[in-house]
Amino acid sequence: MIEVIAGSMFSGKTEELIRLLRRAQHAKQPIQVFKPRIDNRYSDTHVASHDKNLFPSTLIEHAREIETRLRPETRVVGIDEGQFFDDELVQVATRLADRGIRVLIAGLDMDWKGEPFHPMPALMAIAEKVQKLQAVCVVCGGSASRTQRLVKNTDSVLVGDHTAYEARCRQCYDITFATTGRSETHLDEVVELAGV
């Protein structure tokens, strides 16, 4: 079984992944957890939420390493920050699930441009269960489905925390900020419409 937890930054994806892993741990199911080497914001040896909740994990560079490092007794595989892996993650997750292993994957469904963040869309398509979480928009307080980049940088991948990103709803999201350093969204009007 493949289960995907998707959403914007600060929506609780890693918190939910850790919650599901702890439940499996309580059920005495053998677990292995993996995260991409690029994400060392809070810990090299743990999956870590923004609230600093931790679960032991193994750093890997490529999705194929999951299979080479998998112990024979493992019944549950957790993968955090799935968007940072290549498209091979889809095939790896499929092969594991076909062997009867429960695969839990958390990741951003959209990038800073509001576009699908691969390989998450393909994983969502093949998963038996998908949870799409939302954060709280820091501008108007509504449900946030977007990740607003707060720094002028157009790189596809820029690992960061609340100093580089914040959660925004569709109306408060402004792609031009990351490309120009200026906002073209009339946030005063949006906030007024939201009643804030």
Q: Could you read off the pLDDT of 31-71 as tens digits, one per residue?
A: 999 999 987 666 778 887 767 688 999 999 999 999 999 99
184 pLDDT tier (thresholds 50, 70, 90): low
Domain shared by 148 and 129, yes or no: no
Say if 13 falls within a structural domain.
Answer: yes
CA dihedral 159, 164, 167, 169 (to 10 degrees): -110
The mean of the pLDDT values for the chain is 88
% the chain with pLDDT above 70: 85
Asked if 25 and 86 sit in the same domain, the reply is yes
- Is the CA virtual torsion 171, 80, 83, 3 positive or negative? negative
Q: What is the CATH number of the domain that holds 82?
A: 3.40.50.300
pLDDT at 54: 86
Segments in the chain forming alpha helices (H): 13-26, 65-69, 88-98, 120-126, 176-180, 187-194
Catalytic residues: 81
Total of domains in the chain: 2
Residues 17 and 50 in one domain: yes
Domain that holds residue 61: 2-133
